[in-house]
Chain A
Amino acid sequence: MSTPSSTSILPAPGSRFPNIAFKWAAGLAAAMIIVLIILVGWELYAGSRLSLSKFGAGFLWSSEWDPVAEKYGALPFIFGTLVSSLLALLIAVPLGVATALFLTELAPMRMRQPITMAIEMLAAVPSVIFGLWGIFVLIPWLRDHLFVWLKHTLGFLPLFQGPIYGVSMLAAGVIIAIMILPIVTSISREILRSVPNLQREAAYALGATRWEVLRIAVLSYARRGLFGAAILGLGRALGETMAVTMVIGNRPQISASLFAPGYTLASVIANEFTEATTDLYLSSLFELGLVLLAVTILVNIAAQIMLKGITGSVSSKVA
């Protein structure tokens, strides 16, 4: 038996320069991304100086947003951003992973390509189109059917109480879920495809059924990567603006009910920038931008830490 890799690990003569050049180019690109983030952060910080000095840290947990009274607080927007994104993840991750499982493990070969293409086309639809569809199709349906049903069956939970308007936190969650579904699905699909066949065969050889193979060999092997897919989806969800603005109701409030309207950081910046007439108003919007950037970065750092936890711990129920 020959080992095919034994020749390729030796550097070919003359290959050192391109190697070094590539290393530097990649390093430079990475550095530029970091510089760019710092620059953006600095710009936002500079713009929000006025509001920072006026409200201090209280800006973060004040829930009042009243431009007329010159009172600005970020809490309803942070709440709206996190809740709508989490709702989207709750919907999109199971759906995306299930679709990816179907595409890689279950669907007949000739069905895989068309379904994949359809999902990828979903990613090409402009945000504003989703918003229009949300207003004219999704929201009426949610209002007249799903929400009514939820209120009827799960109405004992505070989540599903209160008046139904249509525009709501839940509608935003649904629309964001649809928008991040393609990326969650296609990354999950790549992750699942990278699970070695030998893992599946190991499970089959123990007498596992198809579903058991998915559980013990495929999903558990892929869980780290699937978590990564969810985080990429979350990254998209946090910054999603246009479609969300069109369906969330744009009311800066914190409500336990998912039927109630809300507002997100991205939406309020987009909506109110043009009408921000006073310096403090404008500066507060800048600070919201800074908060959005921070939330995104923090969520990603938290995800990295959780990812370490996933691989580091091996559970055992015996011994």
Chain B
Amino acid sequence: MSTLPETARIPAGAAPVRVAAAPATASTADVPVEAEEVAFDIRNFSMWYGQRQALQEITIKISARKVTAIIGPSGCGKSTFLRSLNRMHDLTPGTRLEGTLRHFGNDLYGPGIDATAVRRRVGMVFQKSNPFPTMSIADNVLVGLRLNGMRDRSVLQERLEQSLRMAALWDEVKDLLNRPGTSLSGGQQQRLCIARSLAVQPDTLLMDEPCSALDPIATAKIEDLIQTLREKYTVVIVTHNMQQAARCSDRTAFFYMGRLIEFDNTRKIFTNPSNPQTEAYVSGRFG
């Protein structure tokens, strides 16, 4: 069976927007499995920076409580795709999009949808760790909760420990909670940022090359952490490191020049891809 999405072959702009029921694009072979809950149901999604089209007719179903890796050569639109999942593009003037993007059934870009509410459910971790430098470790973790109006000390205290434990950082910082967040090492700062995202209790976590600035040991810690996160969260991780995608994801999507080329179980993508371009990329012949 062909794994190249049907829609990906249609020239930009030719396809009708917001098709009610997508044609049997079943963008991929056998994923998602029927029984799985779908976190993101994305159809014919295109996106432009000004005149420049960065994503072309992406159709993909991302399953809940799985780790989905996005791979592809640099500039292929991985970050752009990821950032459309929590409406981060709203902040970039001149961006435009077409198609539908549903998150647990809700049209993320539908009328009346509050982008701040979306971002509370869909957290994001960035390539470079970015704790707030004027805040302590504790305040960094709790800042999102406080924004939501949480004042109850016992809840805050509990959520602080819970989030830091989840981010596998608690044991390292439990005695340093009042130290500045920026006093930690790079890997610890990245886990602090993960804890900060988890503290607002999102259901989905987006990670854009979260380990690219980290050493192998710190990277391994974050990869372990991703394994524990998949029990409760939907994780979408962009990575340029194919070993990382192979190690820690259930599904892998290969993007090339703004198109989704192939999406399948990670094992299949890395052992027996259906598309020759995917094959070339994962075997390191380009990219």
Residue B266 is within 8 A (CB to CB) of chain A in the complex: no
Residue B119 is within 8 A (CB to CB) of chain A in the complex: yes
Inter-chain CA distance A198–B88, complex, in Å, is: 12
Inter-chain CA distance A116–B87, complex, in Å, is: 31
Across the interface, do B139 and A316 meet the contact criterion of CB distance under 8 Å? yes
User: Given A204-B88, A207-B116, A207-B119, A220 and B135 touching (CB < 8 A)?
Assistant: yes
Across the interface, do B132 and A220 meet the contact criterion of CB distance under 8 Å? yes
Chain B CB count within 10 A is highest, among A207, A212, A317, for A207
Name the interface residues of A210-224: CB closer than 8 Å to any CB of B: 212, 216-217, 220-221, 223
Closest Cβ neighbor of A1 among chain B residues: B212
Inter-chain CA distance A206–B116, complex, in Å, is: 8
Inter-chain CA distance A316–B153, complex, in Å, is: 12
Residues of chain A with a CB closer than 8 A to B123's CB = 205-206
Across the interface, do A202 and B147 meet the contact criterion of CB distance under 8 Å? no
Residues of chain A with a CB closer than 8 A to B148's CB = 207
Residues of chain B with a CB closer than 8 A to A319's CB = 138, 157, 160, 177-178
Closest Cβ neighbor of A224 among chain B residues: B134
Task: Give, as a whole number of angstroms, the nearest-CB distance from B227 to chain A.
Answer: 22
User: Which residue in B86, B139, B157, B240 is a CB contact (below 8 Å) of A315?
Assistant: B139
Task: Give, as a whole number of angstroms, the nearest-CB distance from A3 to chain B.
Answer: 11
Closest Cβ neighbor of B156 among chain A residues: A318
Across the interface, do B117 and A207 meet the contact criterion of CB distance under 8 Å? yes
Residues of chain B with a CB closer than 8 A to A212's CB = 147
Residue B162 is within 8 A (CB to CB) of chain A in the complex: no
Closest Cβ neighbor of B122 among chain A residues: A205
Task: Give, as a whole number of angstroms, the nearest-CB distance from A221 to chain B.
Answer: 6
Residue B124 is within 8 A (CB to CB) of chain A in the complex: yes
User: Which residue in B91, B133, B197 is a CB contact (below 8 Å) of A206?
Assistant: B197
User: Given A199-B130, A217-B132, A318 and B138 touching (CB < 8 A)?
Assistant: yes
Residues of chain A with a CB closer than 8 A to B91's CB = 200-201, 204
Per-residue interface assignment for chain B, residues 130 to 146, with 1 indicating a CB less than 8 Å from any chain A CB and 0 otherwise: 11111110110011100
User: Given A201-B88, A314-B136, A318-B157, A206 and B120 touching (CB < 8 A)?
Assistant: yes
Closest Cβ neighbor of A205 among chain B residues: B124
Residues of chain B with a CB closer than 8 A to A203's CB = 132, 143
Residue B267 is within 8 A (CB to CB) of chain A in the complex: no
Residues of chain B with a CB closer than 8 A to A198's CB = 126, 128, 130
Residue A208 is within 8 A (CB to CB) of chain B in the complex: yes
Residue A109 is within 8 A (CB to CB) of chain B in the complex: yes
Residue A62 is within 8 A (CB to CB) of chain B in the complex: no
Across the interface, do A221 and B132 meet the contact criterion of CB distance under 8 Å? yes
Chain A-chain B contacts (Cβ-Cβ < 8 Å), number: 95
Residues of chain B with a CB closer than 8 A to A314's CB = 134-136, 139, 178-180
Task: Give, as a whole number of angstroms, the nearest-CB distance from A8 to chain B.
Answer: 19
Task: Give, as a whole number of angstroms, the nearest-CB distance from A217 to chain B.
Answer: 7
Across the interface, do A109 and B143 meet the contact criterion of CB distance under 8 Å? no
Interface residues on A, range: 20 to 34
Task: Give, as a whole number of angstroms, the nearest-CB distance from A10 to chain B.
Answer: 22
Task: Give, as a whole number of angstroms, the nearest-CB distance from A36 to chain B.
Answer: 36
Residue A194 is within 8 A (CB to CB) of chain B in the complex: no
Inter-chain CA distance A44–B200, complex, in Å, is: 62
Closest Cβ neighbor of A222 among chain B residues: B134
Across the interface, do B178 and A316 meet the contact criterion of CB distance under 8 Å? yes
Inter-chain CA distance A223–B132, complex, in Å, is: 12
User: Given A109-B93, A221-B132, A318 and B119 touching (CB < 8 A)?
Assistant: no
Residue B211 is within 8 A (CB to CB) of chain A in the complex: no
Closest Cβ neighbor of A311 among chain B residues: B134
Across the interface, do A206 and B143 meet the contact criterion of CB distance under 8 Å? yes
Residues of chain A with a CB closer than 8 A to B132's CB = 199, 202-203, 216-217, 220-221
Across the interface, do A205 and B86 meet the contact criterion of CB distance under 8 Å? yes
Inter-chain CA distance A212–B180, complex, in Å, is: 20
Closest Cβ neighbor of A206 among chain B residues: B144
Across the interface, do A317 and B197 meet the contact criterion of CB distance under 8 Å? no
Per-residue interface assignment for chain B, residues 153 to 182, with 1 indicating a CB less than 8 Å from any chain A CB and 0 otherwise: 100110010000000000000000111100
Task: Give, as a whole number of angstroms, the nearest-CB distance from B221 to chain A.
Answer: 21
Closest Cβ neighbor of A202 among chain B residues: B130
Inter-chain CA distance A109–B116, complex, in Å, is: 23
Inter-chain CA distance A317–B140, complex, in Å, is: 11
Residues of chain A with a CB closer than 8 A to B143's CB = 203, 206, 216
Across the interface, do B119 and A205 meet the contact criterion of CB distance under 8 Å? yes
Residues of chain B with a CB closer than 8 A to A217's CB = 132
User: Which residue in B93, B136, B147 is a CB contact (below 8 Å) of A316?
Assistant: B136
Per-residue interface assignment for chain A, residues 296 to 319, with 1 indicating a CB less than 8 Å from any chain B CB and 0 otherwise: 000000000000000000111111
Closest Cβ neighbor of A215 among chain B residues: B147
Residues of chain B with a CB closer than 8 A to A1's CB = 212, 240
Task: Give, as a whole number of angstroms, the nearest-CB distance from B90 to chain A.
Answer: 8
Inter-chain CA distance A316–B135, complex, in Å, is: 8
Closest Cβ neighbor of B181 among chain A residues: A314
- Listed by A's residue number, 5 A-B pairs whose Cβ atoms lie within 8 Å are A201-B91, A207-B144, A314-B179, A316-B177, A318-B177
Which residues does B use to contact A, with CB under 8 Å? 86, 88, 91, 93, 116-120, 123-124, 126, 128, 130-136, 138-139, 142-144, 147-148, 153, 156-157, 160, 177-180, 193, 196-197, 200, 212, 240
In the A-B complex, the 7 residue pairs with the closest CB atoms? A207-B120, A206-B144, A205-B124, A316-B136, A207-B119, A202-B130, A198-B130
Identify 14 new A-B residue pairs, CB closer than 8 A, beyond the known A1-B212, A201-B124.
Answer: A109-B93, A198-B126, A202-B130, A202-B193, A203-B143, A205-B119, A206-B123, A207-B118, A208-B144, A220-B134, A221-B134, A318-B138, A318-B139, A318-B156
